[in-house]
Amino acid sequence: MKNLGKALTASVVMFFATSMVIAQGDGSKSGADKKKENFEKIEAAKKEYFTQELKLTDKEAEKFWPVHDEFSKADRENRKKQREIGKELRHGFDSIPEKDVRTKMETMLNLESADVQIKKDYLNKAADVIGYKRAAKSLHLEHEFKRELMDRVKDKEHGKGPNPGRGEFRKPPVEEAE
């Protein structure tokens, strides 16, 4: 009987320990998983925001989003390259040889030119789908969405509401976790 009590106690302890490990495994995602999940939430909110602001029909949205996604990917990759070179220059400027600084600066300027070309290509492709006026507005919305999202993050970090200098959000870029 005494052994049965110990076995039962050990089983209960093992059950709770296993439950806690499983619960932690489900609840605590890796940094990459959280980043991917947050990116997906932001992209979904952005699509909803753009669709509403541009008044996209289902048919337009079906054609617009592949064009916009292609633009976003190219823009992200270009800016990433610019940041990498900028970081190299900032952190090792005094130790980088003159010719390497020249090469890096030329690359940086070429990337900035590529950024303009990426936007031109996007505007032309998007205009074929939704017209030039709404395509141009979508570039503005991209900037506005990012600004509002950053304000939201800053306000959340500081425990404040929306930034009073910019007014209330017309629509929250990302829904709060409940």
Domain residue limits, the chain: 31-157
CA distance 103 to 2: 79
* Amino acid identity for residue 153 in this structure: V
- pTM of structure: 0.67
Please name which of 156, 168, 149 lies closest in space to residue 49, comparing C-alpha atoms. 149
Please name which of 85, 49, 82 lies closest in space to residue 65, comparing C-alpha atoms. 49
CA distance 113 to 107: 10
Give, as one character, the DSSP assignment of residue 175.
P
CA distance 118 to 80: 14
First to last CA, the chain: 48
pLDDT tens for residues 68-126?
999 999 999 999 999 999 998 888 888 889 999 999 999 999 999 999 999 999 999 99
pLDDT tens for residues 18-69?
444 444 445 556 888 888 898 899 999 999 999 999 999 999 999 999 999 9
